[in-house]
């Protein structure tokens, strides 16, 4: 069982546990019906396949018909998908399927607003690891649906030397040197810098990426001039949508923002079921 199937199984067990005492006592297992998931506000849709897998976990031979695709911009009142199966399956899977879709569509919608606000196609907008525990793969998928990009997926797929690493390893030079001894030559090394002095030290180590953490615009411009193309420049820390273009105009390459995921709200979808 893959991670998504495990998450779906957990979510269904969390909701249904030993049984749906309402549905099981009201609805015969032989009765079939149809459900339609409808958008109650404008949104970027995401999570259609996750919803399908929720219902299939309860009934393998459901009939599934998506009415749009992930990434589509839809208006309120749009029918997103139709599903046919036993009424018990539709009623038991309704809330779990909606919870997944509302969260993922909410992130995609939120991210699209950031992407549309950034008027600079040379700067890449990326997410962070500030995701809901257990949901990272899904939430980062929703970021891509919204039109932005993923930073590293976790601690395992990229070297990012941050302030705490530097503090416990004895400075930027010592920390980078130690990392180079341990990791493959194919792995890029990124170093966080919070001052121009740290930028200079990171440059001396030939870091591949330098992350400017919580610097103001003047500091960022000075850092970009100092780096002068010798490393990719990422800006991070307290990034808000209204500042995206001012940041991009400094000459940086990457803007990373945890707000893409942790500040997104769930959008409103509902499911209408008929016998």
Q: Which two tokens stand for residue 114?
A: 């950031």
User: Do 247 and 255 contact (CB within 8 A), yes or no?
Assistant: yes
In terms of DSSP H, where are the helices of 80-162?
Answer: 87-117, 136-146
- Kindly state the tokens that stand for 221: 């411009």
Catalytic residues: 95, 130, 162, 192, 213
Q: What is the largest CA-CA distance in the chain?
A: 72
- Which tokens sit at 51? 């919803």
Helix (H, G, I), strand (E, B) or coil at 150: coil
Residue 39 makes CB contacts below 8 A (sequence gap 6+) with 45, 74, 75, 76, 77, 78, 80, 267, 268, 269
Report residue 66 CA to chain centroid gap: 22
- Phi, psi (5° rounding) for residue 63? -105, 125
The three-class DSSP label of residue 124 is strand
β-strand pairing of 254-256 with 73-74: unpaired
In angstroms, the CA 217 to CA 267 distance is: 34
Neighbours of 5 (CB within 10 A): 12
92, 126 Cβ separation under 8 angstroms: no
CB atoms inside a 10 Å sphere around CB 62: 19
Q: How far apart are CA 220 and CA 226, in angstroms?
A: 10
């Amino acid at each position: 069982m893959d991670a998504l199937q495990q998450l779906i199984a957990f979510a269904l067990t969390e909701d249904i546990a030993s049984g749906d005492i309402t549905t099981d006592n009201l609805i015969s297992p032989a009765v079939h019906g149809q459900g339609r998931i409808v958008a109650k506000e404008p949104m970027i849709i995401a999570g259609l396949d996750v919803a399908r897998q929720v219902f299939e976990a309860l009934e393998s031979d459901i009939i599934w018909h998506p009415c749009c695709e992930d990434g589509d911009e839809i208006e309120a009142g749009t029918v997103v998908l139709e599903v046919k199966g036993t009424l018990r399956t539709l009623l038991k899977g309704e809330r779990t399927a909606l919870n997944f879709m509302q969260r993922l569509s909410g992130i995609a919608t939120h991210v699209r607003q950031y992407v549309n606000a950034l008027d600079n196609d040379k700067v890449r907008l990326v997410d962070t690891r500030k995701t809901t525990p257990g949901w990272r793969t899904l939430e980062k998928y929703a970021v891509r649906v919204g039109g932005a990009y993923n930073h590293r997926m976790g601690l395992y797929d990229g070297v990012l030397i941050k302030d705490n690493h530097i503090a416990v390893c004895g400075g930027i030079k010592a920390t980078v040197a130690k990392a180079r001894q341990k990791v493959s030559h194919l792995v890029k090394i990124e170093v966080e810098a919070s001052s121009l002095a740290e930028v200079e030290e990171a440059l001396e180590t030939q870091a591949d990426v330098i992350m400017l953490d919580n610097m103001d615009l003047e500091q960022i411009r000075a850092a970009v001039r100092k780096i002068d193309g010798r490393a990719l420049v990422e800006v991070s820390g307290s990034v808000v949508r209204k500042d995206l273009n001012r940041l991009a105009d400094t000459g940086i390459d990457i803007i990373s923002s945890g707000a893409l995921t942790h500040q997104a709200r769930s959008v409103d979808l509902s499911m209408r079921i008929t016998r």
